[in-house]
Structure 1
Amino acid sequence: MTNLKVGGVPEHFNYPWYITLKNKEYSKHNINLRWQDYPGGTGQMCKALREGTVDIAIVLTEGIIKDIAAGNPSKILQTFVKTPLIWGIHVSAKSKFKTIADLEHATIAISRFGSGSHLMAIVNAYNQGWDVSKLKFKVIKNLQGGIDALTAGEADYFMWEHFTTKPLVDNGTFRRIDNCPTPWPCFVIAVRNEVLSTNFDEVKQVLNIINNETKDFKKINNIDKILAKRYEQQLEDIQDWLKITKWNAGKPMTKNLITRIQNKMVQFNVIEEKKNSEDFIKNMYF
């Protein structure tokens, strides 16, 4: 039995992993796959990949590209969710800020540097024409940290996935000022190089299983009701999310796509320079 650890955010995007694990799909192939929640998001997972405490990670595209460029010994195998992620721009419900323009000099809560909440704050600032070098950040670790920081006035706004934070908008904790979609596919599957060299076939089998699950995920009977209950969402919000979300069923990440994303990241001042796109990916499908 091969032991492998997979991690991701505890959000509805990753429910296909829960189904395959619950059905013991991996153990049928002599793989003992264990799931680990990473509420701190991509920055936390990049750190875990570097430290070897996770083998496979479902991470935000921009975060892992930035971290591999900075020396993370991992490769991107494929896109997991090929549609953009919709980032809500949130302030405390009692905040004096009313529009995005009001936020130009405000303090931004981020889970950690290199995380999606950090990098997308830069993308949003670039979109608004602000001076990115003057952005002020406060590290808050996770969603609960963001709630605490905005409520206490220690930070002014916080960017997190629109639907995950929707219940906090509904209950009056946050007020959403606007949305900022990622200009690229949102989630990818990344694996440590060491694991690819020692367990290539097992990793490929894991991909086969999860891609088979995501292919028909939306056709699962009552999947909207299941997700709404599990993630404490309004049914209509989950239905809206399902309409705009598409998974990638087993197509490799291409050099072309990495190059296009790097071009945008350089343009947005998220990375300083492009690296060889081939260094970011491993094609499992040949």
Structure 2
Amino acid sequence: MKNSTIQRVAASVLCAVIALAGLSACGSNSGSADGSSASPDGQRTEPESSSNSDNKQKNESETAKSQTFSQMFNGKQTIWFYSSESAYIGKDFHPDAIFVFEHGKVTTYKNWQDRASGTAFTFGDFKGVSEDQLLTKVKELSKGSFDKATHGAKGQYIEPKPYDVTFNVRTDSSGNAVASELINIKYWSQSKNKEDEIRLELEQNGTTYSGSEIKSRTIYDKQFTGFTGDGRFFFGRMSTAGSPEPTMPTFDSIGTAGITEEKGMPLNVSGEIIERM
């Protein structure tokens, strides 16, 4: 009788141990059939959805690609269109020049105009030109506009050479925030027979200045995306219509190495660079 009682007690203890072990196993399970998990306090954590994961990766990618003006123009080659004619460019509008930035240098391919016939090339001339063909087309159009404007009577075309590109920032009234950034571009003026310079001032939105908006314009099969200022100018890049727009740089910060603060009032207008013969 005594042995039988002991056996029953032992069996009861064994069942209790097995039951406790089962509960412990369930409580320590980090996953469930629906993919959720349990936190240390026992609360379920829902799995990250694929869309949230994609958005996170996209944001991280965009942050990684974000560059300031000085970072972008000191990096790999980018080609920028500049027009002082108007911010509202179209197929018959003339770029003043096209700038090729690469590793801290800028090469300026000018648009030459015959005052009488107006032979300068237009934004519409880039119809059908791929990004791989763009630089070759720029060189072709620049030299072609010179040949047409001069009729071969005013010297030989001088191949543009690269110059250092420099940057300045202008602060707001507090002196603590960047209101605008100036991009200083030197080039050789063949009509003046001397070195010249154009200073593009891009104003940052949310400051005391009006701000340089980023706008896009479709011309034939191309998309031109860039900065504008009060309808005064356009400074931007080309891409194929329907494809992702090119990355636009952000403003440099106060105290960035190699960038000095500009004093005085902002420039009223950006300079004109078209060579008229």
How high is the TM-score relative to the length of structure 1? 0.20
* Larger-Rg structure: 2
- Identify, as 1 or 2, the structure richer in strand: 2
Tell me which protein shows more helix as a share of its residues: 1
**Higher RCO by CA contacts (8 Å cutoff, separation 6 or greater):** 1
TM-score (ref. length: structure 2): 0.20
